[in-house]
Amino acid sequence: MKLYDAPWAPSPRRVRIFLAEKGVVIDREHVDLRDGEHLRDAYLRINPRGAVPALELDDGEVLCESAAICRYIEALYPEPSLFGADPLAIGRIESWTRRIEGDGYAAAVYAFRNRSPAFVDRGLPGNWPPVAQIPELAARGMVMWDGFVSALDERLADRTWIAGGGYSFADITALVTIDFAKSAAKLSVPERAKHILRWHAAATARPSAAA
């Protein structure tokens, strides 16, 4: 199988960290997002959605969506479990993953996509008809980001990792979200969120963070 990857985008990074935590190596092909390669015919024949990552299987089928690719990998290589090994861990990891995505990651995408001249008429990521930017979404994203930071900091006050057990898909999702928000959307974790900052240092110190 082959992973269509891109070096600075958050969703491919989520898959790369996941693979590194598993110790799984997959062939990768870079798609040049800055050059618009993901929106040209050759790549759209692989993934009509015009998004990375995409995982091409040996029979040609293509799996899209980073969470789906990670779940496929988890099913092939169950150890170490990153989606949870018992019902409660599974529920907690999914609950926090969804919350991180819905509040934190969405906030960063709102801010990133809706005010930069680079994305005029491309308010949605991927292969869509022209979609106007909505600058008000950047303001909405700030509210969401503040709520995300407060909730995650409280969660981490008495836990090493987000879901409560070992390092999991929820931590990977939060790490990718926080780094993307800072670099692409100028949304950062304030000094007062000391539990997140401690957690972030620990997550960043794992070799997988550099994947």
Judge contact between 134 and 114, C-beta under 8 A: yes
Q: Which two tokens stand for residue 210?
A: 């550099």
Q: Judged by CB under 8 A, does residue 184 bind a second copy?
A: no
Residue span binding a second copy (CB under 8 A) among the ranges 21-29, 34-42, 65-73, 185-193 = 65-73
Q: Which of 8, 143, 157, 182 binds a second copy (CB under 8 A)?
A: 143
Q: Judged by CB under 8 A, does residue 71 bind a second copy?
A: yes
**Contact pattern for a second copy over residues 82 through 111, marking x by CB under 8 A:** --x-xxx-xxx-xx-xxx------------
The number of CA neighbours under 13 Å toward the Cβ of 189 is 22
> Position of tokens 């040049």?
32
- DSSP string of 111-172, one letter each residue: HHHTT-GGGTTB-SSSS-S-B---THHHHHHHHHHHHHHHHHHHHGGG-SSTTSSSS-HHHH
Judge contact between 2 and 15, C-beta under 8 A: no
Q: Judged by CB under 8 A, does residue 63 bind a second copy?
A: yes
Q: Judged by CB under 8 A, does residue 157 bind a second copy?
A: no
CA distance 45 to 57: 14
Which of the residues 4 through 43 are near a second copy (CB under 8 A)? Answer: none
Residue span binding a second copy (CB under 8 A) among the ranges 13-21, 69-77, 175-183, 194-202 = 69-77
Q: Judged by CB under 8 A, does residue 72 bind a second copy?
A: yes
Q: Which of 2, 147, 183, 206 binds a second copy (CB under 8 A)?
A: 147
Distant-in-sequence, close-in-space partners of 146: CB < 8 Å, separation ≥ 6: none
Judged by the rule CB under 8 A, the positions of this chain that interact with a second copy are 49, 55, 57, 61, 63-65, 67-69, 71-72, 75-76, 84, 86-88, 90-92, 94-95, 97-99, 123-124, 128-129, 131-132, 134, 136-137, 139-140, 143-144, 147
